[in-house]
Amino acid sequence: MAGGSGGATRRGRWPLLEFRHGLVIGKFAPLHRGHLHLLDHALARCERLSVWVYSRPDFPEMPSPLRRGRLRELYPQRLFPGLHLLPDAPNPPMNDEPDAVHRAYVRSVLRGWGVFPDAVFTSEAYGDALAADLGAAHGCVDRARQTVPISGSALRADVHAHRAFLDPLVYAHFVRRVNILGAESTGKSTLTRALGEALGTTWVREYGRDVYEREQGQLNPDHFLEIARGQRALEAEAARTPGVHRWVFCDTDAATTLMWSHLLTGTALPELQALADECRARYAHTFLCDTDLPHEQDGWRANTEVRAVQQAFIRQDLETRGVAYTVLRGSVAERVAQVRARLEAG
């Protein structure tokens, strides 16, 4: 029950505000720039604004706690002290129930919560009747969707095509990680970058290389945990980077880092083992670069025989964990084509 862009740009309170307590109700599935436009407008007119996220059925891939979390991140309490997020309420009516049923439910729940707004803000046709039921004024914002020409249903139909209407923080939820694995000198770093460029999206370098060179190759188990944490942080950053589109290509994962910890130190920290276990479900697709490329020595790498052992360890780990993977062979261009075909196949 909400609509309407703009970002969370308002800072502090206005000296004279039109309403004491405003209300916005919506699915926010997903939270888009039209919603932000509506919320910014309401915040500019109210001393206090209550926001209620509800839908029935809810959205399994983005349930209400996640959607409220996005609102908290975009409207942090320290910058927007007047914005209050209402909790879930029990047994809401189905979305396709008549408006009168929803109005009665809203009135009853708000009364139980002790929430009595003097203004309701919507971008919807039901706004006048809802506000009248609550004895409040109605602030109608961009009902024709001229300022922000988007709706939640259009976004849900093709979120990637309409990603410009989402804040990068929100769009990150829909971005899927693609894991590129392989032993030393199998071309995975080159391929990861090539995939990002070819598919017009972001990629993540191998963070372990940064730490390895920084420490001059003298790594202990704590360093390997640092590498796994840093790799995940880079993945999260890449998923929120403007310009990301559908996929983030990731060079190496925590399971491979665990392997290196055992190979180079003879042990691994329990937290690193837990991060490695999460790799089973963390990536939408996993690709393994074959050893058919010539071995290149850069001063840090082992020899061809060691590369074969590393590759065998990676294969064994994938199969032990039950991770489905695709082996890539040939030139960089051929491998890019193989990945593209697999991603397009779903």
Local structure of 150: helix, strand or coil:
coil
For 167-212, write each residue's pLDDT tens digit.
999 999 999 999 999 998 899 999 999 999 999 999 999 999 999 9
CB 75 within 8 A of CB 67: no
**CATH top-level class of 19-159:** alpha beta
d(CA 59, CA 227): 34
User: Of the candidates 231, 224, 41, 6, which has an alpha carbon nearest to the alpha carbon of residue 138?
Assistant: 41
Is the pLDDT at 218 greater than 50? The verdict is: yes
> How many CB atoms are located within 10 Å of the residue 76 CB?
12
pLDDT band at 17 (very low <50, low <70, confident <90, very high): confident
CB 343 within 8 A of CB 247: yes
Q: Do 175-345 and 19-159 fall under one CATH topology?
A: yes
d(CA 55, CA 65): 12
For 64-76, write each residue's pLDDT tens digit.
999 999 999 999 9
Structure tokens at 341: 């075909």
Tell me the pLDDT of the chain averaged across its residues.
Answer: 93
Local structure of 121: helix, strand or coil:
strand
For 221-238, write each residue's pLDDT tens digit.
999 999 999 999 999 999
For 248-298, write each residue's pLDDT tens digit.
999 999 999 999 999 999 999 999 999 999 999 999 999 999 998 875 655
pLDDT band at 9 (very low <50, low <70, confident <90, very high): very low
Is CATH 3.40.50.300 correct for 175-345?
A: yes
Is the pLDDT at 39 greater than 80? The verdict is: yes
Is the pLDDT at 6 greater than 70? The verdict is: no
Q: Given CA atoms 106, 110, 116, 119 in this order, what sign does their dihedral have?
A: negative
pLDDT at 99: 96
d(CA 107, CA 56): 17
pLDDT at 278: 96
- Residue ranges covered by each domain of the chain: 19-159, 175-345
pLDDT band at 112 (very low <50, low <70, confident <90, very high): very high
pLDDT at 303: 55
